[in-house]
Amino acid sequence: MTLVALTGGIASGKSTIARRLAEHGAVVIDADALVRELQQPGTAVTRAIGDAFPGVVGEDGSLDRAALGAVVFADPAALTTLNRIVHPAVKAESQRRFAEAVGADPDAVVVYDVPLLAEARGTGEWDLVVVAHAPAEVREERLVTQRGMTREDARARIANQAGDAERLALADVVIDTSGSIDDTLRQADDLWARLR
């Protein structure tokens, strides 16, 4: 098994790269999707979040993501608390999925789409770390035009993540996503050729 960490800041093009690698045959494990699964009503993670942040879990046990986001993206200490709850659970589930992938195909290329690799100080287990990179101003514009965020919200989300230098320091490969989608896809194709 080849284990690739694919990381990058919010709106950096990670999902575009992950989809392209999946088209080539990679097993893609999406950390954000794992988080959503682990935060379903009634899970241990959701209960712990509710205990730490009163008012963000409804009577039906569902997480109010907008309310939680408003708290944690405005307060670095709150974000640290949330990460201490979520990161260990995500790590355990991702490890289980890596083992499942290698059990199904020992030669699999497993791509772990993990936005917060730098924030989690994730190093060591990866055969290759790929960073999807676009300057903060490009990512801000994408958040405003493609996701409908206000500039203030977009800047806050970007500011609450690791900086470009910290992420790039982890990189074995950098895919420049500031240009066209076709250019990004070509770079992803080149990466796949290297992996196979």
pLDDT at 63: 96
Kindly state the tokens that stand for 25. 């045959």
Interatomic CA distance for residues 86 and 124, integer angstroms? 20
Is 178 known as a binding-site position? Answer: no
Q: Tokens 């893609």, residue?
A: 28
Q: Which domain holds residue 11?
A: 2-39+93-195
pLDDT at 61: 94
pLDDT at 36: 94
* pLDDT averages per 10-residue partition of the chain, 196 residues: 95 96 97 95 96 96 94 92 94 93 96 83 79 96 96 91 90 96 98 94
Is 11 known as a binding-site position? Answer: yes
Give per-residue pLDDT as tens, 33-63. Answer: 999 999 999 999 999 999 999 999 999 999 9
In a domain, residue 109? The reply is yes
Is 62 known as a binding-site position? Answer: no
**Contact of 71 with 56, CB cutoff 8 Å:** yes
In a domain, residue 167? The reply is yes
| CA end-to-end span of the chain | 11
pLDDT at 82: 96
Is 14 known as a binding-site position? Answer: yes
Is 123 known as a binding-site position? Answer: no
Q: Tokens 């097993």, residue?
A: 27
In a domain, residue 84? The reply is no
In a domain, residue 77? The reply is no
Kindly state the tokens that stand for 126. 């990866």
Cβ–Cβ contacts within 10 Å for residue 54, how many? 7
Give per-residue pLDDT as tens, 73-88. Answer: 889 999 999 999 998 9
**Global pTM value:** 0.85
Is 12 known as a binding-site position? Answer: yes
In the chain, the number of structural domains is: 1
CATH code, domain carrying 133: 3.40.50.300
In a domain, residue 168? The reply is yes
Interatomic CA distance for residues 34 and 29, integer angstroms? 8
What is the DSSP pairing of strand 2-7 with strand 109-113? parallel
Question: What residues contact 149, with CB distance under 8 A and at least 6 apart?
Answer: 143, 157
